[in-house]
Amino acid sequence: MHDSLYEAFKAKDKRLDGKYFMGVSSTGIYCRPLCSAKMPKKENCSFYKSAAEAQANGFRPCLICRPELAPGNAKIDNSNIIIKNAIKLIDSLIAEEITISDIAARLGISDRQLRRIFKQELNITPIKYIQTSRLLLAKNLLTDTNLSVVQIAYSSGFGSIRRFNDCFRNNYKISPMYFRKENTLKKANGNNIIIKLGYSKPYRYKDIMRFLKHRTIDGMEKVEGENYCRTVCVKKSDKNVSGYIVISDNEKMSSLNVKLSENLIRVLPQVLNIIKNAFDLHSDAHCVYEALNGANDIIPNSFKMGMRMVGSFDDFEMCVRAIIGQLISVEQAGKILSKFCRKYGEKIECKDDMLKDIKYIFPTANTISNIQNIYDELCPLGITKIKAYAIKSIADKIVFGDFDFKNCLDTGKK
């Protein structure tokens, strides 16, 4: 046991954080598994299941990893939090001309600190991560779609075809067309594109479908069989790009099949990033289960391996759902949201038979912010005055930049 714990601390195993502490006899301190201090010799180490036990054995808390604090609250944890937010930000902006300065500024840190954290956590530079992300997206599109090479290059964030070709040759030693040879797929249903998004098993897709089906907004989204269909709207520069998506499970390939309208290619990285977050594809099912399976001791089978946390497709939409859903049933909230969507949402056309009932985009914060007599407009839909005021207030704050749910630094504190 001693040897395995020593190796786990040496590898900085995050799974042990908060569960085991290491006392160092040569210094008289005790540390967390994530401590950045030099690893001591094995013969000087002893291990304890609590900070209290380590202290009872004569050790004092380390000043670097701060084991007396809850995991996530010490300065040593900041790098892990920052790198996660940086990756999310890069993934959402991969198709745009982004600079290291822009990313650092949005995260509230300096360029130098961002480079240092990337080197420390991933052993690469931020530029290299951006380049790799663009290459992987382009490779996916070359293999799985029939988009033209020009479309793929610009959708993946490359500023020119020359840069696109050079990047492939410099990194893979082959031409982009090599991957195009592997493409045996055809466009489905005219102008639709199908892309695969991988996930790690187990993945309880059917549970997600049951959750979504109970909360769909008629006219904007629906669950048909094992397919989730909805409209989406993504802001690019000062314009909104609207379209629709159909998501299904490809269990054999451990991926979600994403079918989307061709006009969404212009904002493809943003759409894929939204779907990854909404379907919780980044989650480590084993780590989550290890942390939450204790709930089964209270309510048997209340938490199962592979369960995911369903996210949102749009921040304003999630806020409105939360406000309208207060103190009423899910079914009643769905009816009110449908009326709200049909009255203020942009109407789009879809020729796909599966999507003939999907006609509206969820209203944007800008649309609601421009409403003058909010009570007269929303109350006839079944929305109370207090809820109408809350919706208008949030819309105003989002439009004027007082609220920005995207790309903010999560400090891990409430």
DSSP letters spanning 112-149: HHHHHHHHHHHSS-HHHHHHHHHHHHHHHHHHH----H
Cβ–Cβ under 8 Å, residues 348 and 233 = no
Cβ–Cβ under 8 Å, residues 130 and 124 = no
Cβ–Cβ under 8 Å, residues 267 and 95 = yes
Structural domain spans, the chain? 2-71, 77-180, 192-399
Helix (H) / strand (E) containing 243: strand 239-250
Looking at the predicted structure, is the pLDDT value of residue 74 above 60? no
- Mean pLDDT comparison of 98-112, 219-233, 252-266, highest-scoring range: 219-233
- What is the C-alpha separation between 183 and 175, in angstroms, rounded? 14
- What is the C-alpha separation between 196 and 259, in angstroms, rounded? 9
Looking at the predicted structure, is the pLDDT value of residue 70 above 80? no
Looking at the predicted structure, is the pLDDT value of residue 187 above 60? no
Q: What is the DSSP letter of 175?
A: -
CATH class of 2-71: alpha beta
pLDDT of residue 232: 93
- What is the C-alpha separation between 154 and 174, in angstroms, rounded? 19
Helix (H) / strand (E) containing 389: helix 385-399
Structure tokens at 204: 């309880």
CA 328 vs CA 225, 322, 336, 383, 394: distances in Å: 27, 11, 10, 11, 20
The alpha-carbon radius of gyration of the chain (Å, integer) is 25
In terms of Cα–Cα distance, which of 184, 231, 215, 195 is closest to 352?
Answer: 231
Looking at the predicted structure, is the pLDDT value of residue 68 above 60? yes
2-71 and 192-399 have identical folds? no
Question: Looking at the chain, how many residues does it have?
Answer: 414
Q: Is the dihedral of CA 158, 256, 201, 213 positive or negative?
A: positive
CA 289 vs CA 9, 12, 222, 308: distances in Å: 22, 20, 29, 10
- What is the C-alpha separation between 334 and 148, in angstroms, rounded? 40
**What mean pLDDT do residues 359-381 have?**
93
| 77-180 topology per CATH | Arc Repressor Mutant, subunit A (1.10.10)
Q: What are phi and psi of 360, to 5 degrees?
A: -125, 145
CATH class of 192-399: alpha beta
- Residue 326 has a CB neighbour count (10 Å cut-off) of 11
- What is the C-alpha separation between 23 and 194, in angstroms, rounded? 54
CA 174 vs CA 4, 36, 183: distances in Å: 43, 40, 16
Structure tokens at 187: 């466009």
Tokens 């004092």 correspond to 60
End-to-end CA distance of the chain: 36
- What is the C-alpha separation between 74 and 67, in angstroms, rounded? 8
pLDDT tens-digit map of 307-353: 888 988 999 999 999 999 999 999 999 999 999 999 999 998 877 77
pLDDT tens-digit map of 201-222: 899 999 999 999 999 999 999 9
Looking at the predicted structure, is the pLDDT value of residue 249 above 60? yes
